[in-house]
Amino acid sequence: MRGKAIFKIAVDIGMTAALLAMAGSMVSGIILSRYVFSFLPIQGGRSFARNLHMVSAYWGLVVLSLHLGIHWGMMVGMAKKLVKKPMLRLRQLLRGIACLIAGYGIYAFLKREIGSYMLLKSHFVFFDFEEPLAFFLMDYIAVMGLFVWMGHYIFQFIWKKWNKKS
């Protein structure tokens, strides 16, 4: 199988995973809702819905961040149009910041035990209500940044391989 075909299959699998994550979040949200969908005759299933909601949310974060990373080049292209004369130092600085965010994203991914939630090794997410909201958001944004970074550079690597063979 050629590289482009493999990549297209990987994208299809990724988009299917994103669709499943969104559908899982919606279905579990409906089951867990006690007010908005109170008119529906839903009995039980809350334990299953909690697990589905957790898995869907975390996989959705990862898959959709990877997808954003694949399209990150378009965002960079639009930003380049705004800057008349791109500076090498600015580009290097921004890449360095991206690497720092991705590095911190690895730390936050491990610290927050996101992998265990994605694989349902833990059935309950612990929130420290003493922790400032800004730190919580910073960690999750860094994890998102990690997967955007990964998606971007994996795609760039694959794109360069294709163009060498063409």
Express each pLDDT in 5-62 by its tens digit: 777 788 788 889 999 999 999 999 998 887 787 788 888 888 899 999 999 999 999 9
Closest CA to 56 of 7, 125, 111: 125
Mean pLDDT of 132-148: 97
Q: Which residues of 36-67 are buried (b: 16+ CB within 10 A; e: fewer)?
A: eeeeeeeeeeeeebbbbbbbbbbbbbbbbbbb
Cβ–Cβ contacts within 10 Å for residue 118, how many? Answer: 17
Structure tokens at 14: 């990724």
Q: Read off the pLDDT of residues 62-114 as tens digits, 9 standing for 90 and up.
A: 999 999 998 898 888 888 888 877 788 888 999 999 999 999 999 999 999 99
Q: How confident is the model at residue 3 (pLDDT cuts 50, 70, 90)?
A: low
Structure tokens at 148: 């955007």
Rounded distance between C-alpha atoms, residue 28 and residue 47, angstroms: 10
Rounded distance between C-alpha atoms, residue 83 and residue 41, angstroms: 57
Distance from the first to the final alpha carbon of the chain: 15
Cβ–Cβ contacts within 10 Å for residue 138, how many? Answer: 14
Contact yes or no for 120/54 (Cβ under 8 A): yes
Q: How confident is the model at residue 166 (pLDDT cuts 50, 70, 90)?
A: low
Structure tokens at 51: 């697990």
